Structure formats: structure tokens, C-alpha cells
Amino acid sequence: MKNKKMGIILAFVAAVLASSYGSAYAAANLEPINAYFNRGVSFVLKGELWQPKDEDGNLLTAIHYEGSNYLPVRALAEALKIPIEFDAVSQKIYIGGKPAEKTPIFAMPMEIDNIYAILSKDPKETMVKNKQFQEVLKIDQYGDVIFTTDRKYKRLVLDAAVVSPGEHEVEFSLYNASDNAANTAQTILKKLTVKPDDDVKKLIFNVEGLEKIKIHVQSPNLNPYIYARILDTSYFDNGDPAATAGSKEAPSK
């Protein structure tokens, strides 16, 4: 113990995620192991020296066990800008977001152009294509809406339409609105079009890995009046992959 700091790891990942386990769960699922803190190993992340830390800013040390070095999965996920969440009920660690979970678009942190893009709950304005909705984002000329996603989602699914008296096609363009986007902030990542004679149209954008996004809405010919609507049935999600089974630490070896 003096020359080699031998530790007993009891579900290292769970400890880092600040989980609380009852004695019954521990007895059935936690197994003690003998391992070493490997204070000699260092990490280089994308060409730069990297020091893993926990949520409180405390330095973390790799653990050496049976030939491999291990680090808490949260430290690695956050360093690689991958969302991570622990579900204490199911005892699952979700890396990359919870599958099939939907977050309604208007429940998200958002900024809108209040001159030409306005949230409305007026029943006359929420009647779209003969269907009544609770809330819409109405964009009668052109507008921007910015969402803070914090890399938690893979997709933005927009339900959109052009309503009467709209006569023109409307483009919905996705941009990276992160503070670190630099020159790429002007690059259109994806552009989709809705026509006046379309019913409510589902537009799917890939937003994986993005911290903040912008949806710009306008006519491709810069026609002044477009009468576009984004509906409250729109949402962010992570697709529908099979749920991640179990949890493991990621080896750094």
C-alpha cells in the first residue's frame, strides 16, 4: 500500500456520475476489484495535453486494471463533446442522448427575430392546413430562430407549412450558431423547401454535435411575404436506435 497505491473500485463510473446506490443493489450488482491509480499516464486530446476532471473540477487519475487504463465515462464524453446522462431508475448511462426521447421545440431555450418572427397562440393563426394547433411560430416575411441544444440531440424535426395568402416557396436553412463557429457560421448545413400547396411538411435536420443552431426562413427569390409557420408538433430527438444496454467505463489504453 505504501509503494503502490492500491484502490478498491466500486462501480467507478457510477461514482463519477454522483449516483446513489442502496445496500440491496450494491450486494447484488457491485463487485470489488483490485486496481491501481496510474499517476504516470498522461493524455493528449486532439493534439493538446488534457487533464481529466470531475464535475467539481478535481483532477482525475487513470485506473490501471488488468492491462488497461480506465477513466470515468463522463470525463471522456464531455471532453469529446458528447452528451451523457445517467438514469438512476433504469441504471443506464446514455452516451449521446436518450434514444427516442423527444423535446418539444417551444420547450427549448430559443431566441427569435421579434420583428418578423412571432410566437402566437391566437386560434386564427394556429389554424394551419385545416388543423388546429396550440402554438405556432409565424414568419410572414423572413426570420431567424436560434436554439441552444448543448449537443444533446441528433435531429431537429420541424413541422412546417406555408399558409394563405402565401404564394411562394419557402426555404428553411440550418446554420451552426455556436460562439465557436467562426467562418462556418455563414455556411448552410442543410436547406429544405416547403411549397404553398404542400400539406404540413416534416423537415429533418441533423444537429448532432452542435451547441447552438440557427434556422433561417425566407423565400429563395427574396419575395417579401411568405406566410410560413413552424408548428408546436416540431421537436428535437436522438432518433430511434435501440437503447444502450448496461454501462461500462471506456478504456484509455
Domain boundary among 69, 99, 129: 99
Q: Which residues contact 34 (CB under 8 A, 6 or more apart)?
A: 6, 8
Question: In the numeric block, which cell numbers belong to residue 2?
Answer: 505504501
The pLDDT tens digits of the residues spanning 141-167 come to 999 999 999 888 999 999 999 999 999
Answer yes or no: do 11 and 73 share one domain: yes
More confident: 195 or 209: 195
Q: Do 48 and 143 sit in the same domain of this protein?
A: no
pLDDT digits (tens, 9 = 90+) for 167-186: 999 999 999 999 888 888 88
Residues 34 and 127 in one domain: no
Last residue of a domain, one of 99, 134, 167: 99
Contact 151, 175 (CB under 8 A): no
CB 36 within 8 A of CB 63: yes
User: Structural domain tally of the chain?
Assistant: 2
pLDDT in the model for residue 24: 55
Does residue 18 register a pLDDT over 60?
Answer: no
- pLDDT tens by residue, 239-253: 855 433 333 444 444
Q: Which residues span the domain enclosing 87?
A: 6-99
Q: Are residues 123 and 23 in the same domain?
A: no
Between 35 and 135, the higher pLDDT residue: 135
* Mean local confidence (pLDDT), 25-49: 82
| CATH number of the domain residue 205 falls in | 2.60.120.260
pLDDT in tens, 38-48: 888 888 887 88
